[in-house]
Structures are given as C-alpha cells and as structure tokens.
Amino acid sequence: MFTIDLKTANKIIETGIQLRREAGHLPLTFCVLDRGGHLVAAQREDDSSIMRFEIAFGKAWASLALGHSTHFQENKMAPNRPHFIDSLAAVSNGRFVPALGGVLIRELESNTLLGALGVTGDWGETDEQIAVKAIEQCGFKADLT
C-alpha cells in the first residue's frame, strides 16, 4: 500500500468513533487525507460543533505539509519558531492548523507514509489520543514525531 484507501480510512474513522463513545468524550469530527493531502474520508458525529470539518482537515493537512504531527508542531516548533508557524497558516489560506489531533499514518513494517488523520471536537489531548488509538488498532503506526 502506497497511500491510504477509502476502505482503510473508513475503518480508522469507525474505530475512532467507537473509542470516543466508549470513553464518553465529546462528539468528534474525523478527516483522513492521503499522502498527497487529498481527502479520502471524513465524518462528523451528531452534535459536533460548526467548523469541525475545517479544523480536522487542517490538522491532518498540517501534519502532511511538514511531515510532522501536530503534536510535534505545537510542542516543539511553535515555542521555538512561532512566526514560522504563523506564516504557514497564512500562506496556506487557513488550511494549516497546528493544534493537537493531527497524526501521520504509516505502515507498521516499512514505516511508509500513507496519509494523516485529523481529529477535533474535544480537548486537543483527547483528540490526539483517539487518533493514535484508532490508527494503531487498525494495524498502522501512529507517528507523533
């Protein structure tokens, strides 16, 4: 597999929704992008607030744009290079959202980049936790670097 397909993207999202419900978190929105930044699948749970699609898409897109999770961007890059992060948000016409919840999806064995998952709707830490668990439960590597 060189990129993520629809069946896999839907499985990751379904797993994320199940994990969210089991944990009792707020309703979430999920976006899976292929390695080229194209939307493969997205779902917004009932009662998710407005703009959640744009935020989830932006988290996944930001991960792919820099080749680093939004965890890395928020915790490592933003404190050290805040103007660079701000510039990326500006030049991407708002598509770049460097907030927790954007995770790269890699093949487990080869570490090949397949795409990214963006999750939003709860606290950033919760969004990220659900993303990581969903990716890993589907047999892939969740890359937070």
Q: Spell out the per-residue pLDDT of the chain, length 145, in tens.
A: 789 999 999 999 999 999 999 999 999 999 999 999 999 999 999 999 999 999 999 999 999 999 999 999 999 998 999 899 889 988 998 899 999 999 999 999 999 999 999 999 999 999 999 999 999 999 999 999 9
- Residue 90 confidence (pLDDT): 87
Helical ranges in 25-123 per DSSP H = 52-66, 70-72, 78-80, 82-91
- Residue 119 confidence (pLDDT): 98
- Residue 44 confidence (pLDDT): 97
73: tokens are 């961007």
Per-state percent for the chain, helix, strand, coil, to nearest 5: 45, 20, 30
Q: Which of 13, 88, 11, 97 is nearest to 54 (CA)?
A: 97
- Residue 20 confidence (pLDDT): 98
Q: pTM for the full model?
A: 0.96
Beta partners for residue 7, in sequence order: none
Beta partners for residue 142, in sequence order: 105
| Annotation: CATH topology of 6-18+28-143 | Beta-Lactamase (3.30.450)
CA dist 94 and 138 (Å) reads 30
- Residue 43 confidence (pLDDT): 98
Which helix (H) or strand (E) segment is 8 a member of?
A: helix 6-23
Return the SS3 of 132: helix
* Domain parsing of the chain, residue ranges: 6-18+28-143
